[in-house]
Amino acid sequence: MIPVLYEAKETKFRTFGLGEIADAYEVKATRERNGNYSLYIKYPLDGVFASTFKEEMKIKSDAGRRTKWQTFEINRVLRNSKDHIVV
């Protein structure tokens, strides 16, 4: 599933928000032993949402075969190099 970006104040998730994050290089969702989920996205600096990502925005994505459509909140947006950012 392609992750979908939402505004920070979104609560209903009935639409596709700001849009699908289709041009990400890498999307990885993991589940920790304590049951918490985390989402890692590597995104190109010249991508559609590169300047849109902000802390506290929400992303909906699958986190595994049995955990579909989980909600993640953006905690950090890092510009790690000259060609991509990490969310």
| Average pLDDT of the residues in 63-70 | 86
Q: pLDDT exceeding 70 applies to what percent of the chain?
A: 100
Summarize pLDDT for 67-85 with one digit per residue, the tens. 889 999 999 999 877 889 9
Segments of 1-87 assigned E as strands? 4-6, 19-20, 26-31, 37-44, 58-61, 70-73, 84-86
Query: Residue 3 — very low, low, confident or very high, per pLDDT cuts 50/70/90?
Result: very high
Please state, for a pLDDT cut of 90, what percent of the chain lies above it: 74
Task: State the pLDDT at residue 67.
Answer: 86
